[in-house]
Structure 1
Amino acid sequence: MEMDCIENDEIHRNGTYHLSSTKTQGGATVTNSVYELLDCPVCTFSMYPPIHQCHNGHTLCSTCKVRVHNRCPTCRQQLGDIRCLALERVAESLVLPCKYYNLGCPQIFPYYSKLKHESLCNLRPYSCPYAGSECGTVGDIPFLVAHLRDDHKVDMHSGSTFNHRYVKSNPLEVENATWMLTVFHCFGQYFCLHFEAFQLGMGPVYMAFLRFMGDEEDARSYSYSLEVGGSGRKLTWEGTPRSIRDSHRKVRDSNDGLIIQRSMALFFSGGDRKELKLRVTGKVWKEQHNPDSGISIPNISLPDHSVV
């Protein structure tokens, strides 16, 4: 199948990107809807093998074949197990740009390789890092920072050191609790501080960790430390912030952060153990690699202010 040119336009529908193609015949430009043939009529996503069809030739993807209980959504006939091999071969002949080409990705892929790339494309939008509600907002980092500030009312803090106090009455009743996310701006980057309570094994714990608003490769350029204590004791944690490409739950479930057992948290809180009073301090620094020694040297940025 030959195409003389592809228009540089984009149609956004139901979360997928579709290209319309044009073909020049005798000086006239004819619209070609071959890409639309590969859209499943049920979910509207692009179809990948096995592509199924009914006896009347209507097609749909294998996932939706199960969803419609093996009955064609167009003519209501039984689907059976007929493969549309012709359409699968058409798909094999196509090359398409990454759906994030409008965000700057220049790469072009065969039809069947495109999905894998798009799931890993460095220019794909980020998901909202707010934990505590199911937020489906996506966008670039400046957009998400404004979204967190304006829509989620997240506390914004400038500087690489922080000092937060977390208070909770009736801590023995806390099984799952998420404190308000705090966003820090330092070194020209944004970081998210999380603190929450959840069940780990047989007992509840409190956990604090930091996420980097950017990709994993850039996150590895930074380190952070957290400290909590009281009554002459303290716990410290030092690590690398995780990228927000990793979901909040994934980071939490991997235990990649400062974990405080409830008994220790109440000990740090002092008093009669009827109220949680934890003060978590921390700092972020950028690792500067010394080419002569091969040693990473911390670069500490002075804070603008602390949040208590």
Structure 2
Amino acid sequence: MSESRIGVGRCLEDDADAGIWSSKRSAAGTQLAEQLVWEERHLPTRNPLSLHREAVPSTEDFSEKRLLACPCPRARCGWEGPLSALLLHLTTSHRGVARLQGESVVFLASGVHLPGSASWVTVQSCLGHHFVLVLEKEERRQRFLAFVLLLGTSRQAEGFSYRLLLNGHRRRLAWEATPRGVAEGPASISTSTDSLVFDTVMAQTFATNGSLAINVTISSC
């Protein structure tokens, strides 16, 4: 079986053609070099201030260095620290925060039927990143909000999508969205449309013995 190849350039069939092509290429190279020398002498000097502006990194580049607040809602946690220390803080300072492995996990929230506002948080590790799964109960509005945060920048979060699924008897509730970077915080999520929202009546419909199981699947875009 012959091997197929794709070539880029000119195929030289004999030595005469090769000599002609080499001569033309040498002349073209000399002309190009003379043109570059002329441009270097006559073009205006570049403003050093423009170089400084280009060297300044974007806001995203600072997100891993600046201090971030704890993403646990309603935890009354005053911790602040860099992004690199957030995972350790969640898993050591908050005993109720579990850590799950895999692209598809079951996020189990117990006691959703109890009165009062509450929140449930779990860390999901997959695809080389860590995600924070949050379920928040707002007693005043009689509703639940579920969403996913990436322990990373907003730009990194754009490379992933998540799917939340509630299963019940002859019922199914699904939600798909893009996670937010943890620097944006849960407060901005709960006031936006980037979360799964359902009322307490629906929560009781899907709950079993006061526990709500949410299937969470993380995918890379």
- Shorter chain as denominator, the TM-score bin is 0.5 to 0.7
Higher strand share: 1
How far 1:130 sits from its partner (Å)? Answer: 2.5
Matches within 5 A, 1:279-294: 279-287=213-221
What SS does the corresponding residue of 1:245 show, helix, strand or coil? Answer: helix
Higher helix share: 2
Q: Which residue of 2 aligns with 1:193?
A: 133
Which one of 176, 182, 186 corresponds to residue 244 of structure 1? 182
Q: Which residue of 1 aligns with 2:210?
A: 276
**Structure of greater relative contact order (alpha carbons < 8 Å, 6+ residues apart):** 2
Unaligned runs of 5+ in 2: 1-54
1:257 aligns with 2:195: yes
Asked if structure 2 preserves the Cα contact closer than 8 Å seen for 1:208 and 1:257, the reply is: yes
Asked if structure 1 preserves the Cα contact closer than 8 Å seen for 2:63 and 2:183, the reply is: no
Computing the radius of gyration from Cα coordinates, the structure with the larger value is 2
1:184 aligns with 2:124: yes
Q: Which residue of 2 aligns with 1:57?
A: none
Asked if structure 1 preserves the Cα contact closer than 8 Å seen for 2:162 and 2:178, the reply is: yes
Q: Which residue of 1 aligns with 2:38?
A: none
Distance 1:265 1:130, change over 3 A: closer
Aligned mates of 2:113, 2:123 — CA distance in 1: 27
Aligned mates of 2:64, 2:125 — CA distance in 1: 22
Q: Which residue of 2 aligns with 1:60?
A: none
Q: TM-score, normalised by structure 1?
A: 0.48
What SS does the corresponding residue of 1:266 show, helix, strand or coil? Answer: helix
Distance 1:150 1:227, change over 3 A: same
What SS does the corresponding residue of 1:214 show, helix, strand or coil? Answer: coil
How far 1:260 sits from its partner (Å)? Answer: 1.6
Distance 1:161 1:126, change over 3 A: farther
Q: Percent identity?
A: 24
Unaligned runs of 5+ in 1: 1-105, 109-116, 288-308
Q: Which residue of 2 aligns with 1:210?
A: 148
1:146 aligns with 2:146: no
Q: Which residue of 2 aligns with 1:161?
A: 104
- Give the letter for the 1:222 counterpart: F
Q: TM-score, normalised by structure 2?
A: 0.66
Distance 1:119 1:234, change over 3 A: closer
C-alpha offsets along residues 27-76 of structure 1, whole Å, 9 cap, x if unaligned?
A: xxxxxxxxxxxxxxxxxxxxxxxxxxxxxxxxxxxxxxxxxxxxxxxxxx
Distance 1:123 1:197, change over 3 A: closer
Asked if structure 2 preserves the Cα contact closer than 8 Å seen for 1:224 and 1:241, the reply is: yes
Aligned mates of 2:60, 2:154 — CA distance in 1: 15
Aligned mates of 1:122, 1:157 — CA distance in 2: 25
How far 1:225 sits from its partner (Å)? Answer: 0.1
- Give the letter for the 1:151 counterpart: S
Aligned residues: 165
Q: Which residue of 2 aligns with 1:137?
A: 80
Q: Which residue of 2 aligns with 1:20?
A: none
- Give the letter for the 1:162 counterpart: V
Distance 1:169 1:122, change over 3 A: closer
Q: CA RMSD in A?
A: 2.6
Aligned mates of 2:93, 2:111 — CA distance in 1: 24
